[in-house]
Amino acid sequence: MRRLAVAIFLLVASSAACRAQISAEGVFFFDRGHYWIELAFRDAAGRDTIPPDLAVRRFEITRLGELSGGFRPSKVEVVSREKGGPVVILASGRLEGRSCYRVKYTSADSGAIVVDSICDPFFAPPGGGDCGGKAFFRNYVAPAFQKEGDSYNLNQLKYEYDVSLEKSATSIVLAPRFKISGLELEPLFEQSMVVYELERTGKTQSSKRSFGLGASMAAWVEDLRLSLSMSYRDDRSVLGTAAGDSVIPTRSFTVEGRVRLDNLFDRANLYCVSVFKGVDIGAGCAWYQTGRFDWSTSASDKTAPYVNLRATWTFLYGFQLSYSLQTFWPSVLARGPTDFQSVRFRLLLRDALPAQAGKSYHPDLELAYDTGKRLPLFAKEEKVSIGFTFGLYPW
Amino acid sequence: MSSWLALRKRMRLDIAKAFSARSGASARDFLLVFYDPPVPPLIGDFDSQYISDEAVLQEILSAMSETTGLKPSLVRSYFSRTETFAQFGEHLLRAGAYSKEKT
């Protein structure tokens, strides 16, 4: 009697093991105007196999989330593919897009095999989608800044108020980009007007007109993005005073090499709510001239090597914090290196607004703080501003 | 023609390669965060956080065009920031990705 019980136990155990030897995976797809389910069966060794009995009654399809019972496919067909081995195709007019299905295959000798969650890639699970913070941003914050029907053709249009100097500034920047066989050209035109409203001197107005041209090339070397750029810029500042206008012309030419270090942040970028991007470091040299151009000025008085470190951190899907540190070594300054630092806090609206195909123009709300000395005048600057900008880059 | 299971797996890897190679995310992390979750983030999340500018995006889409054999304009037309990467891949498969390859 005891031996009989052991024999029955072993029989049951071996039967269960045998049933577990066949596995299956499925995919839901759309082809030739219909939805289909494809099943691939594999044996214990992982080889493609086809169960011997593929009668329609052996299959039951259930739409996930529905309380009603399942249905049988109208047709079961074995298809041999050139790649991926033979598969079983289930056809039914009841299969619908944007849905998830469970398929149960019951065989007389191998028991039941269930393949769960065979989903159309366009299926949206109920309650899924945006997380709370992002949904709030997309639904309430972004629309507040949306202008329907506007065509954004400007790179930057900004109004700012400088708290420290009691001045308001309006600027417009046009810098379209053209790509010609790997070379990116960026002509620049910038016009700005600053109005000082100081109690001591009254209202004083100054304007600045700039134009320039930049050219750059970039290439990937393994995981690093290397770029080389050159740019020329011509500025003309006019300060209106009671005694007459004071004009300060300046010119600068820079050559710069830059390497992007984004891939060093792979580990830190594991979570999409906090991502470091645009991390790069550049080094270059600027030749600049203030006042009337004069070839007799010695070359050492006109050069300023520099390094520039930049990093951008985007977080909570809609916010971006950028920092840039530019250190110059202008030989005309006896006190050694001088820095210019920029901090930008941006409310990104790019994803929330209708996409403009092929363009990355997007409006952002930006709070900026700039301080330090920089080309071409190396005059002390410090300002806090808030503006509505259309920028291609975080800088 | 390959099975759809094989096509989906291949598209998954090709998208991971193309998008991770030109951004600050590794292919493994890309799949983990943006492709394989039951409710994956939208392409827009990846785009706004990992892709630095339009030129990089164009490089990625060009790479996808070469890999799949589809025209660049077709690949570009299916790229939507409001969809998931799996849906982007599905668009490409339905448009005939890999179909021009000799077997």
**Whether A360 and B54 lie within 8 Å, measured CB to CB:** yes
Identify the residue whose tokens are 């890309």. Answer: B30
Distance (Å, whole) CA B59 – CA B46: 15
* Total beta-carbon pairs less than 8 A apart between chain A and chain B: 119
User: In whole angstroms, what is the distance from residue A64 CA to residue A42 CA?
Assistant: 24
pLDDT (0 to 100) of residue B86: 93
Q: How far is CA B62 from the centre of its chain?
A: 11
Residue B78 domain-assigned?
yes
Chain A partners within 8 Å of B45 (Cβ): 134, 272, 317, 351
Beta bridge partners of A105: A59, A113
- Report if residue B99 sits inside a domain: no
Q: Which pLDDT score is estimated for B16? A: 93
Cβ-defined contact of A83 to B6 (cutoff 8 Å): yes
Domain hosting B51: range is: 4-94
Q: How far is A208 from chain B (nearest CA, A)?
A: 28
| Residue B17 distance to chain A (closest CA, Å) | 12
Phi/psi region, residue B69 (left: phi>0; alpha: psi -120 to 50; beta: rest), is left
Please give the Cα distance from A36 to A93 (Å, whole number).
9
Strand A338-348 with A363-372, pairing: antiparallel
The more confidently predicted of residues B86 and A272 is: B86
Per the model's pLDDT, the better-predicted residue between B56 and A134 turns out to be B56
ipTM: 0.87
Residue B14 pLDDT exceeds 90? yes
Q: What is the DSSP string of A257-273?
A: EEEE-GGGGTTGGGSTT
How far does the CA of residue B76 sit from the closest CA of chain A (Å)?
Answer: 8
Is B100 part of any domain? no
Q: What is the reported pLDDT for A220?
A: 72
Distance from CA of A137 to the nearest CA of B (A): 13
Residue B103 lies in a domain: no
> How many domains is chain B built from?
1
Helix H or strand E encompassing B13? helix B4-21
Query: Using an 8 Å Cβ cutoff, are A236 and A247 in contact?
Result: yes
Q: Is residue B102 part of a domain?
A: no
- What is the band of B40 on the pLDDT scale with cuts at 50, 70, 90? confident
Q: For residue B52, is pLDDT > 90?
A: no
Domains of chain A by range and CATH? 21-119 (2.60.40), 132-390 (2.40.160.40)
Per-residue pLDDT tens digits of chain A, which is 395 residues long: 555 555 554 444 444 444 457 889 999 988 777 788 999 998 888 888 888 888 888 999 998 877 667 888 888 888 887 766 889 999 887 788 888 999 999 987 768 899 988 998 888 766 555 555 666 655 555 444 433 323 333 455 667 776 666 777 787 777 666 667 778 788 888 888 888 776 666 777 888 899 999 998 888 776 677 889 999 999 888 877 767 778 888 889 999 999 987 667 766 766 656 777 778 899 999 988 877 666 565 544 578 899 999 888 878 767 888 899 999 987 655 567 889 999 989 887 655 554 444 344 456 788 888 899 887 778 888 888 777 765 443 33
Query: Which of chain A's residues have a Cβ under 8 Å away from the Cβ of B23?
Result: 262, 277
Identify from B29, B48, B75, B79 which residue to disrupt to test chain A contact, counting A C-beta atoms within 10 A and taking the largest count.
B48
In a domain, B88, yes or no: yes
Q: Are A209 and A235 in contact (CB under 8 A)?
A: yes
Compute CA A381 distance to the chain's CA centroid, rounded to the nearest angstrom.
31
User: Domain for residue B33, yes or no?
Assistant: yes
- pLDDT grade for B65, boundaries at 50, 70 and 90: very high
The confidence score (pLDDT) of residue A23 equals 86
